[in-house]
């Protein structure tokens, strides 16, 4: 057991993955979990697949549509309205490159050392179809690594650690919580594991740096 006066939780989150046997072997070899300037040139003049119905998936679809010949956007639900912003939906509907497939999931990945194709199923009709693609972007969100603090710290409905003013109602603090401080005095959360944080590396680094001053304040007031 380690005794300490303050704790900073920075355990992050883990990407949701395709529920397909042996899918992990294509990680980095055709299956990606982010669409950035590094991956975009790989999609030049090729069709690509994006799995997900949230804002990250929508932004990726619009971004990659400038490089790929076709962008297949696969969504498990009946439409994009539940989890995606209206402005993204409008841009997707206006794009001749983006092909939206609702109630559709990936059921198989094909290839040797690298991804060569996918099979997807329309769960409304039960029909499946194959697509020859070498790039699939899994943009279906992430789950926080917080199972070990469940029952100890206040979590939001998705399991992320609540901090700051969001813990006023359930805090054991005798004072207003510091920004980034959880409901337990001296416990802080930064980065992807924190509720309402911006899920980006730069933001996590910034929160980690900012948290130092709050740790010092907490120690000084103990």
pLDDT in tens, 157-197: 999 999 999 998 877 777 889 999 999 999 999 999 999 99
The number of beta carbons lying within 10 Å of the beta carbon of residue 186 is 19
Strands, E, within the chain: which ranges?
7-9, 13-15, 31-32, 47-51, 70-74, 98-101, 104-111, 115-122, 128-131, 136-138, 142-144, 187-189
Rounded to two decimals, the pTM is 0.82
Are the CB atoms for 146 and 13 separated by under 8 Å?
Answer: no
Coil, strand, or helix at residue 56?
Answer: helix
What CA–CA distance (Å, rounded) separates 160 from 10? 11
Mean pLDDT along residues 52-69 = 97
For residue 15, give both structure tokens: 């990407």
pLDDT digits (tens, 9 = 90+) for 75-112: 999 999 989 999 999 999 999 999 999 999 999 999 99
What CA–CA distance (Å, rounded) separates 131 from 108? 11
Cα angle 128-51-24, degrees, rounded to a multiple of 5 = 90
Are the CB atoms for 145 and 13 separated by under 8 Å?
Answer: yes
User: Alpha-carbon Rg of the chain, whole angstroms?
Assistant: 21
Structural domains of the chain, ranges and CATH numbers in brackets: 7-14+142-220 (3.50.50.60), 17-138 (3.50.50.60)
For residue 122, give both structure tokens: 């329309």
């Amino acid at each position: 057991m380690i005794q300490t006066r303050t704790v900073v939780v920075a355990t992050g989150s883990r990407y949701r993955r395709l529920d397909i046997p042996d899918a992990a072997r294509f990680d980095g070899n055709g299956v990606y979990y982010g669409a950035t300037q590094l991956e975009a040139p790989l999609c030049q003049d090729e069709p690509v697949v994006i799995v997900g119905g949230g804002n990250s998936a929508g932004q990726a679809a619009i971004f990659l549509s400038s490089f790929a010949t076709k962008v297949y956007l696969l969504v498990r639900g009946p439409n994009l309205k539940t989890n995606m912003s209206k402005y993204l939906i409008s841009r997707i509907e206006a794009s001749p490159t983006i092909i939206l497939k609702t109630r559709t999931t990936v059921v198989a990945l094909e290839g040797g050392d690298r991804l060569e194709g996918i099979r997807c199923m329309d769960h409304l009709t039960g029909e499946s179809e194959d697509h020859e693609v070498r790039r699939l972007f899994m943009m279906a969100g992430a789950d926080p690594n917080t199972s070990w603090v469940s029952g100890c710290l206040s979590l939001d409905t998705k399991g992320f650690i609540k901090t700051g003013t969001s813990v006023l109602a359930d805090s054991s603090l005798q004072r207003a919580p510091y920004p980034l401080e959880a409901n337990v005095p001296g416990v802080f959360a930064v980065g992807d594991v924190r509720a309402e944080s911006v899920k980006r590396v730069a933001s996590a680094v910034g929160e980690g740096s900012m948290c130092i001053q709050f740790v010092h304040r907490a120690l000084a007031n103990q």
